[in-house]
Structure 1
């Protein structure tokens, strides 16, 4: 699954407040939705969602990501420009950081 799919899935989960509802809306297995969000969180080095028994809501970093990724209609051009490669010297870098996570400390 590519980064754009991960962003799209994250936005859907955050907006719907549920992994299951997002999975139904996107017509993908719940396990795939969960895995995509976990991969995005791992790549960004921060937790993006608060997971509660019956509800999911974005963390502060998740809110910042939602503000930077223009909803589920994000294009690679608009969404990728919102994030900075962790190793800016490497054009094929697959590690990205969230500006909010970079400032936390």
Structure 2
């Protein structure tokens, strides 16, 4: 299932950075910590490395709003199917300069 989920990002046919996980403890959410981690840590780090396409995927509806709010563009939506399960998946991208 994970291999299928990552197909959207790999289909971009260009080098890209990939965010595997961004986690904020439940009791710390809503304090803009995730946004600050992106904008003050990850984005500047990627920019110092020459920038480029930055991608991720999520399976959580609430995360969709978070990533759009932080400048990411949704470019793929798919339903992943495995043994006796299905999971919605959304892929996002942004360009870091």
Q: Same fold (TM over 0.5)?
A: no
Between Structure 1 and Structure 2, which shows a larger proportion of helix residues?
1
Greater Rg over alpha carbons, structure: 2
The TM-score, its normalising length taken from structure 2, stands at 0.27
Between Structure 1 and Structure 2, which shows a larger proportion of strand residues?
2
